[in-house]
A and B are shown apart, each in its own frame.
Chain A
Amino acid sequence: MEALEQLIHAGQLSPVRDRIAAELEDVDTLCDTYRSRIYRYALLSLRDPDLAESVTQDCFLKAYKARKEFRGDCSVATWLTRIATNLIRDSTRSRKFQFWKAANATAVDAGAIADRLRSPGLSPETFLMIKEELQQLWDTVATLPGQQRIVFLLRFVEEMEVLEIATAMGLHVGTVKSHLHRALTAVRKAMEGTK
């Protein structure tokens, strides 16, 4: 916000707003720039590739429709994340999502992902240890309560700042930090389990 105020005083807000407006107007470039990020966020939150795709498309459609309402008080990425967060929240409340979650049909094999990440120099013992650790972490993050998981993903996968996360989720900075600490406590316990 301070940077924005400096821009206002310097009389440079108009070009910044114009640039953002142009960025929002060109939906193809907007998708090219942020699609992978929004899709990743939706995928990791929902763990369902089809639903994540649907949320991603809805996110860009909503953003395009509401582009005139964007005031420029945060970055476009944060604004898109806020829209995606609301859509993810709506999706997780749907009966279909609850059913598949209960059926555990969208479980992800973290072991297979670990196989693809394997470095050539790793010994089989070390690799097995890492594989087990990853599976434990994967399951732990999956079972975190909704907001804790989203905050964790935004901080450690999307590498957003605490203030940006607070803006994107409509939460206080203190609440975000509290969620992060709880999530990290769960992660630490999961890692202690694999010692």
Chain B
Amino acid sequence: MKTTHLSAWEHEECVLGEATPEMLDHLTECAPCRVEVARLERGVTLYRKAALEWSSECLATRPRQPHLAGRSRLPALAVRWAIAAAVLFVLALVPLHLWSPRAVQHTAEISDDALLQQVDEQVSVTVPASMESLTHLVSTESGSGAGAATSAPGGKDLVRTN
């Protein structure tokens, strides 16, 4: 054990946790050296407490790093934008497709067919059920030129026989 007091450098070594067993032995026996080391340690601890306090106070008032958080969400955002762009693209194509000449022509053909079919249906149901037997006659006679079917204005069919 050291009989003389520890030097300032040795006090600092003790605070740094680098004390040799000899220094530690001396500290257990020497009150003045123990006081010196304790005082230095107290100062360092006081500074640390204040530093932590100030730092947490400053940190608490600051928002979370926006650009880092934003960058980490980049893939999700990119996917969302891609989906939105795709939907917009499809929506933009729909009117073009509907108003293209081919589509218009196709639509006109469909409507013509439907109209003709409707006329056929109308014609086929314009003969009342009670006169259905006459249609056979008319068709037979008209085939020989003996009778003719005419339509009266107003849509009602009249059958004339000779």
Contacts and interface: CB of A to CB of B under 8 A. Distances in A.
A complexed with B: yes
Interface of A: 27-28, 31, 35-36, 39-40, 43-44, 49, 52-53, 56-57, 60-61, 64, 108, 110, 113-114, 116-117, 130, 133-134, 137-138, 141, 153, 155-157, 162, 177, 180-181, 184-185, 187-188, 190-191
Given A49-B58, A113-B53, A134 B40 contact: no
Given A27-B72, A61-B68, A110 B12 contact: no
B47 A56 contact: no
A57 B68 contact: yes
A36 B18 CA distance: 28
A95 B65 CA distance: 25
Given A27-B71, A117-B50, 12 more contacts: A43-B58, A44-B55, A49-B61, A57-B68, A60-B68, A116-B57, A117-B53, A153-B51, A156-B44, A177-B16, A187-B43, A188-B43
Interface of B: 8-9, 11-12, 15-16, 18, 39-40, 43-44, 46-59, 61-62, 64-65, 67-69, 71-72
A156 to B, nearest CB: 5
Chain A at the B interface: mostly helix, strand, loop or mixed? helix
Pick from B16, B51, B72 the residue with the most CB of A within 10 Å.
Answer: B51
Contacts of A113: 50, 53-54
B65 A56 contact: yes
Contact of A110 (B48, B50, B52, B62): B50
Given A61-B68, A180-B12, A181-B9, A156 B53 contact: no
B39 A44 contact: no
Nearest to A52: B58
B46 to A, nearest CB: 6
A44 B72 contact: no
Contact of B40 (A60, A117, A191): A191
A57 B65 contact: yes
Contacts of A40: 51-52, 55, 59
B52 A133 contact: no
B46 A137 contact: yes
A44 B65 contact: no
Contact of A57 (B46, B51, B56, B67): B67
B43 A191 contact: yes
Given A36-B55, A61-B68, A187-B44, A155 B50 contact: no
